[in-house]
Amino acid sequence: MATVNKNLSDYDKTTIPDASKFRFGIVVSEWNDTITEGLYKGAYDTLIENGVLPNNILRWDVPGSYELIYGSKKMQEQMVNAVIAIGSVIQGETKHFDFVCEAVSQGIKDLNVTRETPVIFCVLTDNNMQQAIERSGGKHGNKGTEAAIAAIKMAELRENS
């Protein structure tokens, strides 16, 4: 497991570009909202800690992780430097998990290769609720923090390329 003995919230602030000049969009799935709200808090707090002004963080909610693709596409049109797509898909008893995970990962990949604004994949795809809790502010830290750092770095890359 990739997160064993790793805290997703650990990063070296000295290696992070100045984010005060950037504007970010965050698209949050309402499904599994106890998880996605934790991820949002991690992302939002990390952006603020790295100099982003609160009014330069735009949040939109969508019903579920599948809808993150469309929400992220529309968010790219909002003059943001990067988008963070936040969701949580937890394995159930049917193949629905596989179809949603595949569609969301491919959809976000497609936005990254066909459009100019980077979209950061902050979608937990866990086997159970406990794993999701551990990665959204629990013992493994917060994947939202990791996504915010990636968004800052990708906004900087976009600006400088």
* CB 83 within 8 Å of CB 118: yes
What residues are annotated to the active site?
96
23 is in an annotated binding site: no
Rounded to two decimals, the pTM is: 0.94
Amino acid at 28: V
Question: Could you report the per-residue pLDDT of 16-31, keeping only the tens digit for each?
Answer: 999 999 999 999 999 9
Count Cβ atoms below 10 Å from residue 89 Cβ, excluding itself.
24
94 is in an annotated binding site: yes
Give the confidence band of 5 by pLDDT, cuts at 50, 70, 90.
Answer: low
31 is in an annotated binding site: yes
135 is in an annotated binding site: yes
Question: Could you report the per-residue pLDDT of 117-147, keeping only the tens digit for each?
Answer: 999 999 999 999 999 999 999 999 999 999 9
44 is in an annotated binding site: no
State the Cα–Cα distance between residues 29 and 69, nearest whole angstrom.
11
84 compared with 7, residue with greater pLDDT? 84
Question: Could you report the per-residue pLDDT of 50-98, keeping only the tens digit for each?
Answer: 999 999 999 999 999 999 999 999 999 999 999 999 999 999 888 888 8
